[in-house]
């Protein structure tokens, strides 16, 4: 890997003076980050700390393999932004890196109007830091190339933001990364990019987020909640730029979201499956939660073509026919005749007729096997689950965030803490798509999930996709057959999709084709 400093400029991504672009597109005078143009939030004095320096980078050359295994030499500029807010709580997490391709296989690249992949690395709602990174995160799971690497090799700009997470504690024992810190930070990072329109390379009106698991949930939330005023007080507190945080598109892998309803959804989906130990969960708890899902699903008023209203009685058929059986069909069709025959012989519950796979919901559940989580899966009775920590506050590490778990432990008269309903709204994309439909949401969506992923219910991603489709958004949803949590089996297609929905040609063929 070659490394060449761009002059003697410190790689902080900050400039002493520049004009500031506001929500209305106006430009402030003399680089003042204050009122009259885009401004920082009220939590910080007006200054120039949010101005991106386009001359502060190191230049690096790396080899990136596309999805066919072909290596490409990519030279890119790597910018480190010390903080994307003017009043950071902890800059080690509230910073971001920008990678901009300048040549691919010796051909010069102009990425000034390229789409921006905004790739968060959050997992388990834990803190995520890029402060010590010395280059783009080009390596993916299993030794392959990451989406970031493929995007860079496609000629796109890649932004990797850090964010606070649930486990962060200050010297006084106060938890400062619990909800809604992570989504507030990611919004602030988007605002930083939009504030620096014309200085940050790439098209800030074509920001495409991506994330996996909790990161996938945050990516979905970022897409659903763009420009929602509910977050403004939190953004002002950390000195975020006073501009838009709406994004263009959202890529969401196995999103762990809709948390206040996730326990009920989990029991509807996996309630009959045993744990890995062979033990079964408490049948009464499972039945209680499953019944709650019936009411919740009815409240969503989801409808799908050919199915009418989706209810707890027909949702399994909808999932099978819309997502799961097509996933099996695609998997089996890609096998050789010999391999397909062997797979079908080992899995006789699947029928294969006219090139399509068929099976029942019950047989599918048996095929998946052990469920990963006990009941309740998210708001654990003993407060030990990550999500209970996510909704901690002050010096309280963890709290119940559903009435069911709270009253199971504290009695039928117990009530959720007064701040929790609002915080649940801040963390749930469905609130911005159902309860308060957000006109500023992203209109392009890429949603993926493995069929053997029992980290959450298979209904969560389906409900998200179904609601977005009903709203008229462009939604590309697929389940990966026999894949587990965190699977990404078509990363090249995702990168090509970015080019398609953004209208940017670039070097799309470098990352792989859609293969439709």
Q: Which stretches within 131-213 are classed as H helix?
A: 147-153, 181-195
Helix (H) or strand (E) holding 479: strand 474-480
**Phi and psi, residue 74, nearest 5°:** -120, 120
Half-sphere exposure of 42 (CA within 13 A, CB side): 3
Place of tokens 């326990």: 263
Q: How far apart are CA 306 and CA 172, in angstroms?
A: 57
Do 86 and 214 have their domain in common? yes
Residue 205's CB: how many other CB atoms inside 10 A?
15
Q: Return the pLDDT at 141.
A: 66
Do 379 and 341 have their domain in common? no
Q: How far apart are CA 409 and CA 400, in angstroms?
A: 9
Q: Return the pLDDT at 142.
A: 66
Do 104 and 195 have their domain in common? yes
CATH classification of the domain holding 235: 3.40.50.1820
Do 313 and 295 have their domain in common? no
Residues 6 or more apart in contact with residue 327 via CB below 8 angstroms? 451, 478, 479, 480, 481
Q: How far apart are CA 204 and CA 186, in angstroms?
A: 14
- Alpha-carbon torsion angle 201, 202, 203, 206, nearest 10: -140
Do 131 and 224 have their domain in common? yes
Residue 515 lies in a domain: no
Where the chain has pLDDT below 70, the residues are 1-47, 141-143, 507-516
Q: Return the pLDDT at 12.
A: 35
Dump pLDDT digits (tens) for 372-402.
999 999 999 999 999 999 999 999 999 999 9
Bridge partner residues of 19 (DSSP):
none
Q: How far apart are CA 179 and CA 386, in angstroms?
A: 12
Task: Output the DSSP codes for 111-135.
Answer: -TT--EEEE----TT--B--TT--S
Q: Return the pLDDT at 114.
A: 98
Residue 441 lies in a domain: no
Give the number of residues written for the chain.
516
Do 354 and 398 have their domain in common? no
Residues 6 or more apart in contact with residue 464 via CB below 8 angstroms? 220, 252, 255, 257, 258, 429, 430, 433, 447
Residue 145's CB: how many other CB atoms inside 10 A?
26
Domain region containing 347: 306-362
Tell me which residue of 452, 462, 483, 417 sits closest to 293, measured CA to CA. 462
Do 103 and 144 have their domain in common? yes
The three-class DSSP label of residue 388 is helix
Do 101 and 239 have their domain in common? yes
**Phi and psi, residue 404, nearest 5°:** -60, -50
The three-class DSSP label of residue 241 is strand
Q: Return the pLDDT at 47.
A: 53
Residue 444 lies in a domain: no
Residue 390 lies in a domain: yes
Domain count for the chain: 3
Dump pLDDT digits (tens) for 102-118.
999 999 999 999 999 99
Residue 457 lies in a domain: no
Domain endpoint, select from 319, 339, 362: 362
Residue 220 lies in a domain: yes
Q: How far is CA 138 from CA 56, 133, 179, 202, 252, in A?
A: 21, 12, 29, 19, 19
Pairing label, strands 444-450, 474-480: parallel
Do 286 and 193 have their domain in common? no
Domain endpoint, select from 318, 344, 362: 362
Q: Return the pLDDT at 44.
A: 42
What would the two tokens of residue 207 be? 């920001």
Q: Return the pLDDT at 144.
A: 74
Q: Return the pLDDT at 473.
A: 99
Do 237 and 358 have their domain in common? no
Residue 446 lies in a domain: no
Domain endpoint, select from 335, 362, 389: 362
Do 172 and 225 have their domain in common? yes
What would the two tokens of residue 267 be? 């029991």
Do 102 and 136 have their domain in common? yes
Displacement of CA 509 from its chain's centroid (Å): 25
Residue 433 lies in a domain: no
Do the Cβ atoms of 282 and 276 come closer than 8 Å?
no
Q: How far apart are CA 147 and CA 206, in angstroms?
A: 17
Q: How far is CA 478 from CA 170, 207, 411, 458, 468, in A?
A: 41, 22, 42, 12, 14
């Amino acid at each position: 890997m070659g490394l060449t400093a761009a002059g003697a400029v410190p790689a902080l991504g900050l400039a002493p003076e520049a004009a500031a672009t506001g929500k209305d597109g106006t430009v402030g005078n003399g680089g003042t980050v204050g009122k009259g143009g885009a401004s920082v939030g009220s939590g910080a004095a007006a200054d120039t700390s949010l101005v991106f320096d386009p001359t502060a980078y190191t230049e690096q050359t790396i080899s990136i393999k596309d999805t066919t295994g072909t290596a490409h030499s990519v030279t890119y500029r790597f910018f480190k932004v010390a903080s994307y807010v003017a009043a950071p709580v902890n800059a080690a997490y509230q910073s971001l890196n920008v990678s901009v391709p300048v040549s691919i296989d010796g051909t010069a690249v102009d990425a000034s109007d390229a789409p921006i992949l905004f790739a968060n690395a959050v997992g388990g709602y834990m803190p995520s830091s890029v402060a010590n990174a010395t280059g783009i995160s080009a390596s993916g799971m299993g030794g392959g190339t990451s989406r970031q690497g493929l995007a860079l090799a496609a000629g796109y700009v890649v932004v990797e933001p850090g964010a606070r997470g649930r486990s962060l504690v200050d010297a006084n024992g106060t938890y400062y990364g619990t909800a809604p810190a992570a989504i507030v930070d990611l919004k602030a990072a988007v605002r930083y990019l939009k504030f620096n329109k014309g200085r940050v390379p790439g098209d800030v009106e074509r920001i495409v987020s991506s994330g996996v698991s909790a990161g996938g949930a945050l990516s979905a939330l970022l897409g659903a909640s763009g420009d929602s005023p509910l977050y403004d007080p939190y953004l002002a507190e950390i000195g975020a730029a006073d501009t838009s945080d709406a994004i263009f598109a959202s890529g969401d892998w196995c999103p762990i979201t809709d948390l206040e309803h996730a326990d009920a959804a989990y029991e509807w989906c996996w309630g009959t499956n045993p744990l890995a130990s062979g033990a079964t969960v408490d049948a009464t708890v499972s039945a209680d939660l499953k019944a709650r899902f019936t009411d919740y699903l009815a409240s969503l008023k989801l409808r799908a073509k050919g199915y009418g209203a989706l209810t707890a009685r027909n949702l399994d058929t909808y999932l099978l026919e819309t997502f799961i059986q097509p996933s099996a069909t695609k998997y089996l069709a890609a096998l050789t005749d010999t391999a397909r025959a062997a797979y079908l012989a080992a899995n006789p519950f699947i029928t294969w007729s006219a090139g399509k796979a068929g099976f029942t919901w019950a047989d599918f559940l048996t095929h998946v096997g052990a469920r990963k989580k006990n009941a309740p899966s998210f708001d654990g009775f003993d407060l030990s689950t990550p999500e209970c920590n996510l909704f901690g506050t002050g010096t309280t590490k963890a709290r119940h965030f559903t009435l069911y778990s709270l009253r199971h432990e504290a009695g039928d008269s117990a009530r959720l803490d007064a701040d929790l309903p609002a915080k649940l709204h801040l963390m749930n994309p469905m609130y911005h798509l159902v309860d308060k439909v957000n006109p500023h949401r992203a209109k392009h969506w890429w949603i993926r999930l493995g069929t053997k992923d029992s980290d959450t219910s298979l209904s969560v991603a389906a409900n998200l996709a179904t609601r977005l489709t009903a709203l008229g958004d462009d939604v590309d949803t697929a389940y990966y057959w026999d894949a587990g949590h965190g699977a990404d089996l078509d990363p090249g297609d995702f990168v090509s999709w970015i080019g398609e929905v953004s209208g940017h040609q670039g070097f799309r063929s470098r990352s792989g084709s859609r293969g439709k």
